A and B are shown apart, each in its own frame.
Chain A
Amino acid sequence: MSEYILCFVLFCIGLYCVLRKRNIIKIIIGLGIIEYAVNLFFVLIGYRTHGRAPILAKDRVVSNMVDPIPQALVLTSIVIGLAVTALIVAIAIRIYEKYGTFDITKIRRLKG
Chain B
Amino acid sequence: MKNPEKGMTLIVKTITRLTVGLILLYGIYIVLHGHLSPGGGFAGGVIIALSFIHLMLAFGKEVALKKLSQAKASILESLGAIMFLTIALLGFLGGYFFFNFFLHKGKPFALFSAGIIPLCNIAISLKVGAGLFAIFAVLILFKGAGEKE
- Chain A positions within 8 Å of B, measured between CB atoms, are 53, 55-56, 58, 75, 79, 82, 86, 89-90, 93, 97
- Asked if B109 contacts A58 (CB within 8 A), the reply is yes
A-B contact list, 18 entries, CB within 8 Å: A55-B38, A56-B108, A58-B109, A75-B40, A75-B42, A79-B42, A82-B132, A86-B132, A86-B135, A89-B139, A90-B138, A90-B139, A93-B139, A93-B142, A93-B143, A93-B146, A97-B146, A97-B147
- Shortest distance between the CB of A24 and any CB in chain B (Å): 15
A58-B109, A93-B142 known; A53+B38 contact, CB < 8 A:
yes
Query: B37 an interface residue at 8 Å Cβ cutoff?
Result: yes
Q: How long is the Cα–Cα vector from A55 to B109 in the complex, in angstroms?
A: 11
| Segment 117-149 of B: residues with Cβ below 8 Å from A | 132, 135, 138-139, 142-143, 146-147
Total contacts A-B at CB 8 Å: 21
CB-defined contacts of B108 to chain A, threshold 8 Å: 56
Known: A79-B42, A82-B132. 16 other contacts (CB 8 A): A53-B38, A55-B37, A55-B38, A56-B108, A58-B109, A75-B42, A86-B132, A86-B135, A89-B139, A90-B138, A90-B139, A93-B142, A93-B143, A93-B146, A97-B146, A97-B147
Task: Give B4-40 as 1s and 0s: 1 = Cβ < 8 Å from A's Cβ atoms.
Answer: 0000000000000000000000000000000001101
Q: How long is the Cα–Cα vector from A93 to B142 in the complex, in angstroms?
A: 9
CB-defined contacts of A82 to chain B, threshold 8 Å: 132
Task: Give B104-119 as 1s and 0s: 1 = Cβ < 8 Å from A's Cβ atoms.
Answer: 0000110000000000
CB-defined contacts of B37 to chain A, threshold 8 Å: 55
Q: How long is the Cα–Cα vector from A93 to B132 in the complex, in angstroms?
A: 17
Q: How long is the Cα–Cα vector from A53 to B143 in the complex, in angstroms?
A: 43
CB-defined contacts of A75 to chain B, threshold 8 Å: 40, 42
- Shortest distance between the CB of B39 and any CB in chain A (Å): 11
Task: Give B34-52 as 1s and 0s: 1 = Cβ < 8 Å from A's Cβ atoms.
Answer: 0001101010000000000
- Shortest distance between the CB of B5 and any CB in chain A (Å): 19
Q: How long is the Cα–Cα vector from A79 to B135 in the complex, in angstroms?
A: 14
CB-defined contacts of B146 to chain A, threshold 8 Å: 93, 97
Q: How long is the Cα–Cα vector from A58 to B109 in the complex, in angstroms?
A: 7
CB-defined contacts of B138 to chain A, threshold 8 Å: 90
Q: How long is the Cα–Cα vector from A75 to B38 in the complex, in angstroms?
A: 12
- Shortest distance between the CB of B135 and any CB in chain A (Å): 5
